[in-house]
């Protein structure tokens, strides 16, 4: 047998030195050992949070009850049992401040978690700010976003309670790929209803969902009553998250082996995302800093909540933090919607939840941040906006893409168009601070990479992106849909 012989000098980092072997780990760069000059703040796998943080018991005003659309009375666990496993229903209404993460879920999390936290030094230089900018990067997960943090947990509890198949919707395709990844690893079948405009804009996301073994169709589809009703009225419907949710809920409600899985909005989904903020708190400590401003983009609200809730716990306890939610001007739910009871889907199949909404049949313009095209926002976030613990701003997509390219040109990562809203928010905050002669510590969530969004970048670079800002009349028209529904207390 021939042995492979590799010249010692090819291991440059492990070079033999006079006086014996020296490990690369001993070659500590003294400059970079100081937090002030470091780029990445990393946690070890053993430092993965062991519990999710539940903000509900810490909130100054209790969230409004979820109502049965038929009776107007609060829904009970039995009403939700056809759609969700009991363990998730329990988490939905839990008053426990922390909920233990099952070992099986932690095992899968450890494939990519803890995720890195970066000091965006090059971005700071590029815009010439005096502020310090940090970002938590969730794009390192296998599907490329924060979504698997809840997908894995949901697949786990469903499997444990005997379901063999999950049905879901997806906007940009990030959630569909996350759930198809989780179902593959846990051993469940998966059906994905993908909003038609994204299905057409993002063939590679479609392929990724199929590669993990899920069945995928464009929504509205002919396969459900909800889909057929929409197509009869509007055969060229671009679809929306509200419509795709109706299709997935109908699918799940009609089959005993199938549960419904939602990628955002619900309390238990936001809960599962709080690993992000808990890690970020520890990493900011490693950096010797604490944020003055915490920023995330908001579709249904899960990545924003994931980063912000553990910091809001500090804010509620008395620390001063500005918490900013960034949304598209084409779907300005928090900035221009109303706080009201509404359905989570277009065909009115879900219970009624109190949230900021533009009305359940509002179909947002087909902007490229497909994951932010949702008529409502998580009830927990809506309540916290109402209580003035969170503020919100809306941005036009050309401004957002311009900021995405400033970020890509300095930090290197091409962000998902959704995540670019948080980048734009961070740049706005930094610019304003500079104008006011202030120096702030800014932390934002980079919820995913944009490697499957290159058509959007092509459109932007070719000058073909339209800015869509809604006029008041259109919002008024959309809000007719909620007339007659119960009013929150």
Ligand X SMILES: Cc1ncc(COP(=O)(O)O)c(C=O)c1O
Binding residues for ligand X, rule: CB under 6 A, are: 145, 171-172, 174-175, 264, 297-304, 371-372, 416, 418-419, 447-448
> Is the CB of 415 or the CB of 485 nearer to ligand X?
415
Q: How far apart are CA 70 and CA 303, in angstroms?
A: 32
> Is the CB of 417 or the CB of 440 nearer to ligand X?
417
In the complex, minimum distance from the CB of residue 169 to ligand X, in angstroms, rounded to a whole number: 10
> Is the CB of 287 or the CB of 298 nearer to ligand X?
298
Report the candidate in 108, 105, 72, 70 with the shortest Cα–Cα distance to residue 88: 105
Q: How far apart are CA 74 and CA 35, in angstroms?
A: 50
In the complex, minimum distance from the CB of residue 296 to ligand X, in angstroms, rounded to a whole number: 7
Interior CA angle at 35 toward 125 and 285, to 5°? Answer: 110
How would you classify residue 102: left for phi > 0, otherwise alpha for psi between -120 and 50, otherwise beta? Answer: beta
> Is the CB of 194 or the CB of 298 nearer to ligand X?
298
> Is the CB of 132 or the CB of 260 nearer to ligand X?
260
In the complex, minimum distance from the CB of residue 27 to ligand X, in angstroms, rounded to a whole number: 37
Place of tokens 């739910």: 333
Cβ atoms within 10 Å of 247's Cβ, excluding its own: 30
Whether the CB-CB separation of 361 and 346 falls below 8 Å is answered with yes
In the complex, minimum distance from the CB of residue 166 to ligand X, in angstroms, rounded to a whole number: 17
> Is the CB of 371 or the CB of 379 nearer to ligand X?
371
Instruction: State the residue number with the nearest CB to ligand X.
Output: 371
Whether the CB-CB separation of 47 and 113 falls below 8 Å is answered with no
Torsion angles phi and psi, residue 356, rounded to 5: -70, 130
In the complex, minimum distance from the CB of residue 305 to ligand X, in angstroms, rounded to a whole number: 8
> Is the CB of 383 or the CB of 447 nearer to ligand X?
447
SS3 169: strand
The continuous run of DSSP H or E covering 242 comes out as helix 241-253
In the complex, minimum distance from the CB of residue 414 to ligand X, in angstroms, rounded to a whole number: 12
Cβ atoms within 10 Å of 326's Cβ, excluding its own: 29
454-478 burial, b at 16+ Cβ within 10 Å, e below that, comes to: eebbebbeeeebeeeebeeeebeeb
SS3 372: helix
In the complex, minimum distance from the CB of residue 170 to ligand X, in angstroms, rounded to a whole number: 7
> Is the CB of 245 or the CB of 419 nearer to ligand X?
419
In the complex, minimum distance from the CB of residue 454 to ligand X, in angstroms, rounded to a whole number: 14
């Amino acid at each position: 047998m021939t042995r492979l012989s590799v010249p010692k000098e090819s291991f440059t980092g492990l070079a033999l030195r006079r006086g014996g072997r020296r490990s690369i780990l001993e070659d500590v760069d003294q400059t970079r050992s100081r937090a002030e000059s470091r780029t990445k703040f990393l946690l070890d796998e053993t430092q993965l949070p062991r519990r999710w943080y539940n903000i509900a018991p810490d909130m100054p005003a209790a969230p409004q009850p979820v109502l049965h659309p038929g009776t107007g009375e609060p829904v009970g666990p039995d009403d939700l049992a056809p759609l969700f496993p009991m363990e998730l229903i329990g988490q939905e209404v839990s008053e426990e401040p922390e909920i233990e993460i099952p070992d099986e879920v932690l095992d899968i999390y450890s494939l990519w978690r803890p995720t890195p936290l970066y000091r965006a030094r090059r971005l700071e230089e590029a815009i010439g700010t005096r502020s310090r900018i940090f970002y938590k990067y969730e794009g390192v997960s296998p599907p490329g976003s924060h979504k698997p943090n809840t997908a894995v947990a949901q697949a786990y509890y469903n499997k444990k309670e005997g379901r063999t198949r999950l049905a879901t919707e997806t906007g940009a395709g990030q959630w569909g790929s996350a759930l198809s990844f989780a179902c593959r690893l846990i051993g469940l079948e998966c059906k994905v209803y993908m909003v038609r405009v994204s299905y057409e804009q993002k063939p590679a996301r479609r392929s990724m969902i199929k590669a993990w073994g899920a069945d995928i169709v464009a929504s509205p589809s002919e396969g459900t009553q909800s889909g057929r009703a929409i197509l009869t009225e509007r055969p060229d419907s671009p679809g929306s998250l509200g419509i795709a949710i109706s299709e997935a809920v109908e699918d799940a409600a009609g089959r005993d082996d199938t549960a419904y899985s939602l990628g955002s909005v619900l309390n238990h989904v936001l809960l599962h995302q709080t690993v992000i903020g808990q890690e970020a708190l520890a990493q900011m400590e490693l950096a010797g800093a604490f944020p003055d401003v915490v920023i995330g983009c908001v579709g249904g609200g899960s990545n924003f909540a994931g980063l912000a809730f553990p910091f809001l716990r500090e804010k509620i306890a008395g620390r001063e933090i500005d918490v900013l939610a960034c949304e598209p001007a084409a779907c300005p739910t928090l900035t221009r919607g109303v706080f009201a009871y509404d359905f989570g889907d277009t065909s009115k199949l879900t219970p009624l939840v109190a949230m900021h909404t533009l009305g359940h049949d509002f179909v947002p313009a087909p902007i490229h941040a497909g994951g932010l095209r949702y008529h409502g926002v998580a009830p927990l976030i809506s309540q916290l906006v109402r209580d003035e613990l969170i503020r919100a701003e809306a941005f036009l997509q050309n401004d957002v893409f311009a900021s995405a390219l400033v970020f890509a040109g300095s930090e290197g990562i091409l962000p998902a168009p959704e995540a670019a809203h948080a980048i734009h928010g961070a740049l706005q905050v930094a610019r304003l601070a500079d104008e006011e002669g202030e120096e702030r510590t800014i932390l934002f969530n980079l919820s995913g990479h944009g490697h499957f969004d290159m058509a959007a970048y092509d459109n932007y670079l070719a000058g073909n992106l339209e800015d869509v800002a809604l006029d008041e009349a259109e919002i008024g028209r959309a809000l007719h849909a909620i007339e007659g529904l119960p009013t929150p207390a």
